[in-house]
Amino acid sequence: MVKMKSSFLAHGKVILIGEHSVVYGYDALAMPITALHIKTTVEETDGPVYMNTAHYHGPLFDAPANYDGLKYVVKTMMDKASSTDNVKITYTGEIPMERGFGSSATVALGTVKAMDNYYKLNLSNSEIMDITNHAEMINHGKASGLDAATVSSDYLVFFNKEIGPQKLQAKLGATLLIMDTGELGNTKEAVTMVRHQLDESVEANKKIERLGKLADNFKAAWIKQDKKTAGKIFNDAEEILASFGLATDKIDQLKTIALANGALGFKFSGGGLGGIVIAICDNREIAQQIADKSKDLISNYWIEEV
């Protein structure tokens, strides 16, 4: 019997604060970006299991190692369905890859959900999250679960590895300017860089603990709608993240422009080594002005009221 084609639309995320320290059990805050999404479509094929993305077309199990997380997802779902029929999986839509927008978690989640529906498996939410998180572990070496939790939520996520995601209903009353440096980040490399420093230095461990505390202070400022303090905490977090060697020249240049043009605070978001940066601004006009002044350094930008 021919199975019905199945699709799932999953959105991206940005981490507001707590990247890296979240991997070691500290708190973090992240939000979904519904403007950026990827649609995963699963359908029957006579050939080998096939993958169709903007970057790769071909048999999935011949794809390069950076698709290993997806290979695991597809194999796991086919095993769960006891299926020997092959599928063709197509990804459409756009979330810039390796920028901190959670594209790897988005495609992993989309694939689990679309295949769950395709095979009528009715997996529980925790099974779906476990498979998505395991794919993230394969992709990043060590993953907190924050990305997977945020791409599967339609609300602001307060997250801790032990407790999982909690909904934060508050608003800061500020404008976020999210800018894409156009530089590819590399989460796996960034997470490894931090881990090596933690293995070797007490000072590095203290810095990670401070980052974790900043996330809690940021949450408190957010709830109080204290955007000035939130901005200052952003700057403090950026300083610590940069001290691990995770910022780039371009990130530093964007920080100078943002702070000289009225941003309340600035930090990169996600693993670092490139990717996206966020400026907290008092209002849209300031955000637009910073984006205009940064235009020669960025490939794109988004303005979000939070």
Ligand X SMILES: C[C@@](O)(CCO)CC(=O)[O-]
Q: Which is nearer to ligand X, 147 or 238 (CB)?
A: 147
x-or-dash string of contact with ligand X, 10-49, rule CB under 6 A: -----x---xx-xx--------------------------
Q: Quick one: which of 187, 186, 185, 211 has its CA closest to 198?
A: 211
Q: Which is nearer to ligand X, 100 or 274 (CB)?
A: 100
Task: Report 67-106 residues binding ligand X (CB under 6 A).
Answer: 100
Compute how many other C-beta atoms are within 10 angstroms of the C-beta atom of residue 68: 13
Q: Are 218 and 230 in contact (CB under 8 A)?
A: yes
Task: Report 275-304 residues binding ligand X (CB under 6 A).
Answer: none
Q: Are 120 and 113 in contact (CB under 8 A)?
A: no
H/E stretch holding 212 reads helix 202-223
- How big is the site for ligand X, counted in residues (CB under 6 A)? 15
Angle of helix 249-260 relative to helix 227-243, nearest 10 degrees, comes to: 160
H/E stretch holding 259 reads helix 249-260
Determine the Cα–Cα distance for residues 138 and 47; give it in Å rounded to an integer.
Answer: 26
Long-range contacts of 200-205 (CB under 8 A, 24+ apart): 204/244
Residue 131's alpha-carbon distances to 12, 32, 35, 241, in angstroms, are: 18, 20, 25, 29
Min dist. Cβ of residue 241 to ligand X (A): 10
Min dist. Cβ of residue 66 to ligand X (A): 15
Question: Does 188 interact with ligand X (rule: CB under 6 A)?
Answer: no
Q: Are 105 and 14 in contact (CB under 8 A)?
A: no
Min dist. Cβ of residue 96 to ligand X (A): 13
Min dist. Cβ of residue 20 to ligand X (A): 5
Among residues 36, 112, 115, 143, the one that binds ligand X under rule CB under 6 A: 143
Among residues 31, 107, 109, 146, the one that binds ligand X under rule CB under 6 A: 146
Q: Which is nearer to ligand X, 212 or 270 (CB)?
A: 270
Question: Does 109 interact with ligand X (rule: CB under 6 A)?
Answer: no
Contact footprint for ligand X (CB under 6 A): 15, 19-20, 22-23, 100, 140, 143-144, 146-147, 187, 191, 270-271
